[in-house]
A and B are shown apart, each in its own frame.
Chain A
């Protein structure tokens, strides 16, 4: 079975500070893709960052970076220089093969405090 666990239902961070969101997953597959999606109050799902499991180098996207630990099946998201617009629900997800459905975590609600 494929599962994704986000153990932090809610988090807060001061503006301009750094915050890390945790995610662990479970799969017996060796080839998969990992994602972090942001869902603001508008409910639009916005891709934050993605990581291919076969790549050892951690993905980065501007202020967003991941710490991918394949052996530990961990995929945390670090947000640097937090901005008010980062306030949203964040979902960790993965796909076993291209075209298959997402397996989503339960989400972490992040609030950036001015």
Chain B
């Protein structure tokens, strides 16, 4: 079946630095990908919708200058956390819709743990 892969699974960075997380659709083209953030024992919070070849659409309250999203190809979207601070530490998950199968099939990446120290 369709697979969405995230990299890295775990990342630790120093406060003030930037870190990039990749989301790849391995065997299908995804014109739209979604980035979520999940705090411990909480639900997934949509951060932004990533559209191939155009600017991302950010949810209210999400700083677009801090969370840079680039969807340069039909199989890759990246989330860059700029000038990271400890409060940015969280679990980040991406998802992509596969055109295969019965229409609306969404696949999630494995997620990425970010720890800012």
Seen from chain A, the residues whose Cβ lies within 8 Å of a Cβ on chain B are 33, 35, 37, 42-45, 47, 50, 91, 95, 98-99, 101-102, 104-107, 109
How distant is the Cα of A61 from the Cα of B89 in the complex, in angstroms? Answer: 36
Q: Are A102 and B44 in contact (CB under 8 A)?
A: yes
Q: Are A98 and B42 in contact (CB under 8 A)?
A: no
* Closest 4 pairs between A and B when the two form their complex, measured CB to CB: A45-B108, A98-B104, A104-B43, A43-B111
Can you list 27 A-B pairs, Cβ within 8 angstroms, ordered by A? A33-B104, A37-B108, A42-B110, A43-B91, A43-B110, A43-B111, A44-B108, A44-B110, A45-B44, A45-B95, A47-B106, A91-B43, A91-B44, A95-B104, A98-B97, A98-B103, A98-B104, A99-B32, A99-B97, A99-B104, A101-B46, A101-B49, A102-B46, A104-B43, A104-B44, A107-B42, A107-B43
Chain B residues, Cβ within 8 Å of A42: 110
New contact pairs (6) apart from A43-B110, A101-B34, CB-CB < 8 Å = A42-B110, A44-B110, A45-B108, A91-B43, A99-B31, A106-B43
